[in-house]
Amino acid sequence: MRIALLGYGKMGRVIEQIALDRGHEISFKIDVANKEDREKISPENTDAVIEFSSPASAFDNLQFCMKKGLKVVSGTTGWLDKKAEIEKLCNENEAAFFYASNYSIGVNLFFQLNKQLAKLMNGQNQYEVTSNEIHHTEKLDSPSGTAITLAEGIIEGIEGKDSWVNQEIAKANEVPIWSSREGTVPGTHSIKYISAVDEIEIKHEAKSRQGFALGAVIAAEWIKDKKGVLNMDQMLGF
C-alpha cells in the first residue's frame, strides 16, 4: 500500500523503515522543509496517511486530510481539545480517522490491565493511587497522552475519581500524574496504589521507538478499507 508520512522526525523515520520492510511504498514525506507538498496528497495517490507531527501542526494537518477524504492514523498528542471537530469532519467527508495516544501493542495491553486493576481497587479506600510518566527531553507536551489515557482508565474504574491533575497534590476526587523529562527515555509509565502497609505497582517501560512505529503501520494496514472514527480497542478486539 501507499503511505504518506505527515511529520518526518525521529518517529517518522522509524515508521518509514518499518513500512518499507513490510512491503509498502512511501508516497510522500512531509515536514517543515516541504510542507507545501502536503497539498499533493490525495486518495488517488495515497492509501493511508500516518501523522506524527507536532501539537502545533496536528489539527491543521488532520483538517486537511479529513476534507480530502483520506484515511489517517494519528499519534500526535497535545491537541486533543479539538478532537471532536476532526471526528465530525471525518464523518462528514467519509474519511477514516484512527487515533491512539500510544501505538505500542504492549501499552494497549497495559491500558486494559490498568482498567482491570482500577475496578479491583474500587472501594479499597486505604489505598492512594498515583501515576508517574518519564519521557525524553524532546517531548513537548506534559502530561503525555498515554498518561492521560491511564488516568482516564482509573477514573472509569474507581468511584469518586472524576478528574486528573499534573504536577500538583491531588484532591480526593483527582488522580495525580507526575511527569519527568529525562535524556532519551522512549517512555516509562507506572501506576501505584499505596497504603500504610503495602504497595501495588504496574509498569510499562518502552525500550525503543520500534514498538510505537510498528503499531502505527499495522493500524494503517487495518484502516485501508474502512471509514469513520476508529481506535486501538477496535483493532485489537477488546
DSSP string, 122-170: TT-TT-EEEEEEEE-TT--SSS-HHHHHHHHHHHHHSTT--EEEESSPP
SS3 85: helix
Query: Within this chain, do residues 167 and 129 fall inside the same structural domain, yes or no?
Result: yes
The answer on whether 145 is annotated among ligand-binding residues is yes
Inter-residue contact 51 to 38 (CB < 8 Å): no
Look at residue 188 in the predicted model and tell me its pLDDT: 95
- The Cα-based distances of 194 to 101, 132, 191, 201, 202 in angstroms read 26, 13, 10, 9, 12
Quick one: how far is CA 39 from the chain centroid? 25
The answer on whether 76 is annotated among ligand-binding residues is yes
Inter-residue contact 96 to 71 (CB < 8 Å): yes
Tell me which residue range forms the domain holding 156: 105-205
Look at residue 2 in the predicted model and tell me its pLDDT: 98
Query: Within this chain, do residues 45 and 72 fall inside the same structural domain, yes or no?
Result: yes
Look at residue 77 in the predicted model and tell me its pLDDT: 84
Query: Within this chain, do residues 11 and 65 fall inside the same structural domain, yes or no?
Result: yes
Query: Within this chain, do residues 137 and 76 fall inside the same structural domain, yes or no?
Result: no
| Active site (catalytic) residues | 135, 139
CA torsion angle for 61, 24, 231, 109 (degrees, to 10)? -130
Look at residue 78 in the predicted model and tell me its pLDDT: 84
The answer on whether 9 is annotated among ligand-binding residues is no
Look at residue 141 in the predicted model and tell me its pLDDT: 81
Query: Within this chain, do residues 109 and 97 fall inside the same structural domain, yes or no?
Result: no
State the burial class of residue 130 (Cβ atoms within 10 Å of its Cβ: 0-12, 13-18, 19+). middle
CATH code, domain with 58: 3.40.50.720
The answer on whether 127 is annotated among ligand-binding residues is no
Look at residue 107 in the predicted model and tell me its pLDDT: 93
The answer on whether 24 is annotated among ligand-binding residues is no
pLDDT tens per residue across span 52-81: 999 999 999 999 999 999 999 999 988 999
Query: Within this chain, do residues 9 and 93 fall inside the same structural domain, yes or no?
Result: yes
In sequence order, the β-bridge partners of residue 178 are: 132
Q: What residue ranges in the chain does DSSP mark as E strands?
A: 2-6, 25-30, 48-51, 71-74, 96-99, 128-135, 163-166, 174-181, 188-194, 199-205, 228-230
Query: Within this chain, do residues 124 and 160 fall inside the same structural domain, yes or no?
Result: yes
The answer on whether 91 is annotated among ligand-binding residues is no
Look at residue 102 in the predicted model and tell me its pLDDT: 87
Q: Which of 77, 190, 93 is nearest to 142 (CA)?
A: 77
The answer on whether 136 is annotated among ligand-binding residues is yes
Residue with cell 496504589: 193
Query: Within this chain, do residues 34 and 81 fall inside the same structural domain, yes or no?
Result: yes
Look at residue 201 in the predicted model and tell me its pLDDT: 98
Inter-residue contact 108 to 206 (CB < 8 Å): no
What's the CA gap between 107 and 112, in Å, rounded?
A: 9
Counting the structural domains of the chain, the total is 2
By DSSP bridging, strand 174-181 and strand 163-166 are parallel
Query: Within this chain, do residues 51 and 117 fall inside the same structural domain, yes or no?
Result: no
Query: Within this chain, do residues 214 and 97 fall inside the same structural domain, yes or no?
Result: yes
Query: Within this chain, do residues 220 and 152 fall inside the same structural domain, yes or no?
Result: no
Look at residue 121 in the predicted model and tell me its pLDDT: 98
Q: Which of the residues in the chain have pLDDT under 70?
A: none
Query: Within this chain, do residues 109 and 142 fall inside the same structural domain, yes or no?
Result: yes
CATH code, domain with 113: 3.30.360.10
